Amino acid sequence: MDKRASRIDDLPEELQLQIFQQLDSLPPSELKARQEPSLQVIRSAHHPLKDLSRVSKRWRRIVLPLLFKHACLRFDEPEPRGNEICTICGLGSYSSPIHTKFSEAESCHVEMASAIARQTTLQPCNLVSPSSAVRTQGRAGEAATAVFALRSYHEVQDLLAFIRKERLALTITSFVLVMEQMVAEKPSRYPHESREWCYLTAAEFWQQLLSVVDPERICILAPPVDLACLTNAAIDTVGDWAFSDMAFHFLELRQDSSKSHTLTEPVNYKALAPRPARHPGFAASSLVRLRPWAHVSLNEGSFLKAYGTYEFFERGPPSLVHSINHCFSPLGRSYEYVPRSRPLFTLRTFTYTAIFPFSNHVDFRPMLPYIEELDVRFAPDVESGILDDRGRVGRAQLQDCWQELTSAYYALCAVLSTHRMSEAVFPKLKKFVCGDSRVEGIREDLEELFTPLHLPVWAEMKPGVFERLAMSPRLPGTNDQG
């Protein structure tokens, strides 16, 4: 072999970095964002930058900014034990302000959290598969919540210390947070009323993280109830038992890359307002209020199990949809009355993905006057094979599933119909995307449903992609001069 071919280390580091940049690619969380939410969303068999970083210390130093361009913090794995242990809770390597909160409110929380963490049956601060004591005793359930709060603080402090040390704050463009079930028991119908520490911890977590980094994209992969906690949202869990196959929901928030934002000041713990005032809605200290998000994407996974229950259409999943809709004006109210202080005021595009969602669940009319693009997908991915899995389909009648899908699109197309559009109706909406038009088995049915979306207002640029060409149709008896 020609020795010159192996002398890449002789090149200046700037050139080596340019070479290594050719191996950079989109993160799996972006490539798989519309697949059924699972831990597979953050996994990839192809990781050349990580492999390069293991070749030598020099190469790791060079590729480090690329390697952590898309950062991921996982709470679904046991916390690694460091050399230094917190003297208060016995976890991590820092003393947290939240310890004082626990001590002032109820010192047994910290004591129980520490005791649970030290049990030999549990990994230290492990949130996965709580012990039977946590499942059966309400007091232990509170302690498990305390464990999450304590671990959360240590994890984010360790992460931020690493970011500062390696000077990575400006290179992180996306951040993914992964959470498995936080607390197994269900203390009340509305989680924000009974999980005070979880909501407080979430508010503190995002405040601390965004005081150092300013990613364009933040994603959360978590069970529905935990996603509500992590976004400080109010959800209703009255019918969650019917949606047992909704292991995870996936939320993506994205801001404009062209804008720069002043990082938040050091966290003022006393000023945080972590709990929503009512259902639905977001708290004043919610993540959705911390940045001017331009794009929101929500993937709620499968509704299949619920179709096997009696009068399934009367139930709804634990969902952020209602709180997102609540950010906008009530139906029939002019968008001019919406205050600029509301959450998601800067939202331009909304993407929703689910497998056979109920037609009454995917009612996005409250947000349509304020967004520029709506992108939806209601049918399962053919490649997933979910409809061939009897265990996944369960008692669901597939005829009901397809009927709900048809009803959802019928209602949506009726709202967006050319004959109903005008300058006063959905004045900002420019684009509607139906991701299910690629499904061969229902393509013809969808084409018939999309008949109301026609010229001169709408034009189908490619299958399932409709762009708005005019604000309103020309009325009979009018001409170009009015």
For the chain, give the percent of residues with pLDDT over 70: 77
171 vs 85, residue with greater confidence = 171
**Averaged pLDDT for residues 213-229:** 96
**Averaged pLDDT for residues 160-182:** 92
Could you tell me the CA-to-CA distances from 227 to 196, 219, 234 in Å, in that order? Answer: 14, 11, 10
**Averaged pLDDT for residues 309-331:** 86
Q: How far apart are CA 352 and CA 371, in angstroms?
A: 13
Report the pLDDT value the prediction gives residue 133, as an integer from 0 to 100: 27
Report the pLDDT value the prediction gives residue 224, as an integer from 0 to 100: 95
What count of residues does the chain have?
A: 482
Highest-confidence segment of 329-338, 341-350, 416-425, 429-438: 429-438
**pLDDT value at 222 more than 80:** yes
**Averaged pLDDT for residues 66-89:** 72
Confidence category of residue 86, pLDDT binned at 50, 70, 90: low
Kindly give, in sequence order, each residue whose CB lies less than 8 Å from that of residue 159, ignoring residues fewer than 6 positions away: 71, 73, 209
Question: Which phi and psi (to 5°) does residue 425 adopt?
Answer: -115, 120
Report the pLDDT value the prediction gives residue 124, as an integer from 0 to 100: 31
Report the pLDDT value the prediction gives residue 302, as an integer from 0 to 100: 96
**pLDDT value at 425 more than 50:** yes
Selection from 318, 285, 325, 291 nearest residue 303 by Cα: 318
**pLDDT value at 233 more than 90:** yes
**pLDDT value at 123 more than 60:** no
Q: How far is CA 439 from the centre of its chain?
A: 25
Q: How far apart are CA 248 and CA 222, in angstroms?
A: 5
Q: How far apart are CA 171 and CA 179, in angstroms?
A: 24
Report the pLDDT value the prediction gives residue 378, as an integer from 0 to 100: 98
Confidence category of residue 17, pLDDT binned at 50, 70, 90: confident
107 vs 388, residue with greater confidence = 388
Q: How far apart are CA 301 and CA 86, in angstroms?
A: 39
Report the pLDDT value the prediction gives residue 420, as an integer from 0 to 100: 86
DSSP 8-state symbol, 146: H
**pLDDT value at 89 more than 80:** no
By the 8 A CB rule, do 211 and 223 touch?
no
The pTM assigned to this predicted structure is 0.86
Report the pLDDT value the prediction gives residue 125, as an integer from 0 to 100: 33
**pLDDT value at 199 more than 70:** yes
27 vs 478, residue with greater confidence = 27
Confidence category of residue 422, pLDDT binned at 50, 70, 90: confident
Report the pLDDT value the prediction gives residue 174, as an integer from 0 to 100: 96
Q: Before 357, cis peptide (omega within 30)?
A: no
DSSP 8-state symbol, 77: S
Report the pLDDT value the prediction gives residue 307, as an integer from 0 to 100: 95
Report the pLDDT value the prediction gives residue 303, as an integer from 0 to 100: 96
Question: Which phi and psi (to 5°) does residue 77 adopt?
Answer: -120, 155
**pLDDT value at 191 more than 60:** yes
3 vs 165, residue with greater confidence = 165
**pLDDT value at 108 more than 50:** no
Kindly give, in sequence order, each residue whose CB lies less than 8 Å from that of residue 276, ignoring residues fewer than 6 positions away: 192, 232, 233, 234, 282, 283, 286, 323
Report the pLDDT value the prediction gives residue 142, as an integer from 0 to 100: 61
Report the pLDDT value the prediction gives residue 441, as an integer from 0 to 100: 87
DSSP 8-state symbol, 39: G
**Averaged pLDDT for residues 380-392:** 92
**pLDDT value at 132 more than 50:** no
DSSP 8-state symbol, 474: P
Selection from 76, 233, 250, 48 nearest residue 155 by Cα: 76
Report the pLDDT value the prediction gives residue 258, as an integer from 0 to 100: 54
**pLDDT value at 43 more than 50:** yes
> Degrees (nearest 5) of the Cα angle 229, 233, 236?
95
DSSP three-state, residue 227: helix
329 vs 262, residue with greater confidence = 329
Q: Before 456, cis peptide (omega within 30)?
A: yes
**pLDDT value at 120 more than 70:** no
Confidence category of residue 111, pLDDT binned at 50, 70, 90: very low
Mean model confidence pLDDT for the chain: 81
123 vs 204, residue with greater confidence = 204
> Degrees (nearest 5) of the Cα angle 312, 394, 130?
90
Return the beta strands (E) in 140-257 as ranges.
174-178, 217-222, 233-234, 249-254
- Half-sphere exposure of 465 toward its Cβ, with a 13 Å CA cutoff? 4
By the 8 A CB rule, do 283 and 352 touch?
no
For the chain, give the percent of residues with pLDDT over 90: 51
Q: What is the pLDDT of residues 251-306, one digit of tens each?
A: 999 999 755 655 556 677 778 899 999 899 999 999 999 999 999 999 999 999 99
Q: How far apart are CA 31 and CA 47, in angstroms?
A: 14
Q: How far apart are CA 134 and CA 140, in angstroms?
A: 5
DSSP three-state, residue 435: helix
Q: How far is CA 33 from the centre of its chain?
A: 10
Confidence category of residue 353, pLDDT binned at 50, 70, 90: very high
Selection from 193, 205, 273, 201 nearest residue 235 by Cα: 193
Report the pLDDT value the prediction gives residue 104, as an integer from 0 to 100: 40
Q: How far apart are CA 169 and CA 19, in angstroms?
A: 23
Q: How far apart are CA 360 and CA 314, in angstroms?
A: 9
Q: How far apart are CA 77 and CA 75, in angstroms?
A: 5
**pLDDT value at 395 more than 80:** yes
Q: How far apart are CA 401 and CA 29, in angstroms?
A: 27
By the 8 A CB rule, do 175 and 217 touch?
yes
